[in-house]
C-alpha cells in the first residue's frame, strides 16, 4: 500500500504537556500530557483535514523526550534511503574485484566498473537493496544542485531483459566517495551487529528504545563547514546520501522525493569514538553448518 504524504511538524513543551502543530498551518495542532498522545491526536487531525489515510509526520527537531539527542547533535544531519526494495543485483558477485565471501555473502575487494543488473526497480525516488547498495532516481538527483551532484560517485543500474513490469525512471547506484564512515560510541548501550571472521566484514548500529539515532559519525571525519549534501557509509552498510536538516527541509515537500525516507545521524566527539566495537561473530550460512 502506498504511504501517505509527508507533513512537516514542530512542537514545544508547555506546562503540563506538549503542543504539536503543522508547520504550514499552525491552527492544525494538538495538546496532551505526553508527546506520544499529542502525536496521535495531531495525526488524526491531519487525517481528517486532508483525507490522508496514512500521513507521515516528520519532526526535524526530533523527539523532545530524548535527552541523548542534544549530546549527539541529532537534529543536524540525516541520511536518505528508499522505502521500498529493488530486486537484485542479480550479478552481485561480479560487481566486486574479489567476488563475495562464501561465509557471510558480503562483497570482497573493491567495487569495479560492472553495472548492477536488477529484475525490478521501484518507481520512487530511491530504493533499498538486500545487497548493501543504495539507489537513487535521476528525477530526484536532478533536484540537487550541480555542486551537490558533483560530489557523488554514481553509476547507472540496468534492468534485466526478463524483468518485472516497472515504471521506474533511470536509477543510479551511489558508489561513494568514501571517507565518512560510521563509528561506535563508548559507553552507549544498545549495540547490535556482527562481524565475519573470514573476510573481516562487519555491520553494527545502536538500538535503544525510544531513541531515534542508530548510526553515528565522528566529528573529526566531517568537513568544516559541513556541506549540504555528502556521502556516508561503506560497502557493507552501503553508501548513503547524507544531508543537513536545513537542506532537507528545502526539498522535503517536493514530489520528486516521494519514495525516500530519512534517518537521523548522531555526531560523536572524537574522545567518545569507539573505532573497533566488540561484535559477535556472524553465524555461518546454513549451507556450511553440516559440512
Higher-confidence residue of 53 and 91: namely: 91
Rounded to an integer, the average pLDDT of 79-83 is 93
Identify the band that residue 279 occupies on the pLDDT scale cut at 50, 70 and 90. Answer: very high
Q: How far, in Å, CA of 102 to CA of 89, rounded?
A: 17
pLDDT over 90 (residue 178): no
Query: 27 phi and psi, to 5 degrees?
Result: -65, -25
Query: 89 preceded by cis ω (within 30°)?
Result: yes
153 strand-pairing partners: 176
pTM: 0.75
Classify each residue of 256-270 as buried b or exposed e, where b means 16 or more C-beta atoms within 10 Å of its C-beta: bbbbbbbebbbbbee
Q: How many CB atoms lie within 10 A of CB 23?
A: 15
Identify the band that residue 289 occupies on the pLDDT scale cut at 50, 70 and 90. Answer: very low
Comparing 162-171, 202-211, 230-239, which segment has the lowest mean pLDDT?
A: 162-171
Query: 85 phi and psi, to 5 degrees?
Result: -105, 135
Rounded to an integer, the average pLDDT of 181-197 is 92
Please give the pLDDT value at position 3.
61
Mean pLDDT of the chain: 87
Please give the pLDDT value at position 164.
65
Question: What percentage of the chain reaches a pLDDT higher than 90?
Answer: 61
Rounded to an integer, the average pLDDT of 82-107 is 92
Q: Where are the beta strands (DSSP E) in 116-224?
A: 117-118, 126-128, 134-137, 153-156, 158-159, 171-176, 184-185, 191-195, 202-206, 215-218
30-65 pLDDT tens trace: 998 878 788 899 999 999 999 888 898 988 766 665
Residue keyed to cell 521500498: 84
Identify the band that residue 161 occupies on the pLDDT scale cut at 50, 70 and 90. Answer: confident
Rounded to an integer, the average pLDDT of 222-244 is 91
Residue keyed to cell 542479480: 90
- Classify residue 284 by its DSSP letter: P
Q: How far, in Å, CA of 71 to CA of 51, rounded?
A: 38
Identify the band that residue 290 occupies on the pLDDT scale cut at 50, 70 and 90. Answer: very low
Cα–Cα distance list, 256 to 121, 156, 220 (Å)? 16, 18, 33
Measure CA of the first residue to CA of the last residue in the chain; give whole Å: 43
Q: How far, in Å, CA of 168 to CA of 137, rounded?
A: 8
Please give the pLDDT value at position 179.
74
In the chain, where the domains are located = 6-59, 82-176, 181-286
Comparing 31-40, 61-70, 121-130, 244-253, which segment has the lowest mean pLDDT?
A: 61-70
Higher-confidence residue of 179 and 199: namely: 199
Amino acid at each position: 500500500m502506498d504511504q501517505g504524504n509527508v507533513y512537516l511538524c514542530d512542537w514545544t513543551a508547555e506546562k503540563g504537556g506538549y503542543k504539536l502543530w503543522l508547520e504550514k498551518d499552525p491552527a492544525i495542532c494538538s495538546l496532551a500530557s505526553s508527546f506520544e498522545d499529542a502525536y496521535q491526536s495531531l495525526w488524526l487531525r491531519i487525517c481528517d483535514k486532508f483525507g490522508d489515510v496514512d500521513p507521515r509526520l516528520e519532526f526535524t527537531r526530533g523527539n523532545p523526550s530524548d535527552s541523548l539527542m542534544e549530546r549527539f547533535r541529532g537534529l543536524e544531519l540525516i541520511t536518505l534511503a528508499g522505502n521500498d526494495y529493488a530486486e537484485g543485483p542479480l550479478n552481485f558477485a561480479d560487481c566486486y574485484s574479489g567476488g563475495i565471501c562464501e561465509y557471510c555473502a558480503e562483497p570482497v575487494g573493491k567495487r569495479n566498473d560492472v553495472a548492477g543488473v536488477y529484475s525490478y526497480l521501484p518507481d520512487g525516488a530511491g530504493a533499498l537493496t538486500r545487497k548493501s547498495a543504495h539507489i537513487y532516481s535521476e528525477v530526484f538527483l536532478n533536484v540537487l544542485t550541480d555542486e551537490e551532484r558533483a560530489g557523488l560517485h554514481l553509476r547507472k543500474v540496468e534492468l534485466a531483459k526478463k524483468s518485472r513490469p516497472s515504471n521506474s525512471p533511470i536509477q543510479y547506484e551511489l558508489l561513494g566517495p568514501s571517507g565518512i564512515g560510521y563509528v561506535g560510541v563508548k559507553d552507549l548501550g544498545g549495540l547490535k551487529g556482527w562481524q565475519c571472521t573470514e573476510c573481516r566484514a562487519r555491520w553494527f548500529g545502536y538500538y535503544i528504545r525510544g531513541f531515534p539515532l542508530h548510526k553515528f559519525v565522528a566529528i573529526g571525519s566531517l568537513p568544516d563547514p559541513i556541506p549540504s549534501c555528502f556521502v556516508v557509509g561503506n560497502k557493507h552498510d552501503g553508501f548513503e546520501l547524507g544531508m543537513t536538516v536545513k537542506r532537507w527541509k528545502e526539498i522535503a515537500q517536493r514530489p520528486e522525493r516521494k519514495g525516500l525516507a530519512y534517518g537521523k545521524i548522531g555526531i560523536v566527539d572524537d574522545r567518545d569514538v569507539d573505532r573497533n566495537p566488540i561484535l559477535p561473530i556472524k553465524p555461518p550460512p546454513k549451507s556450511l553448518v553440516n559440512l
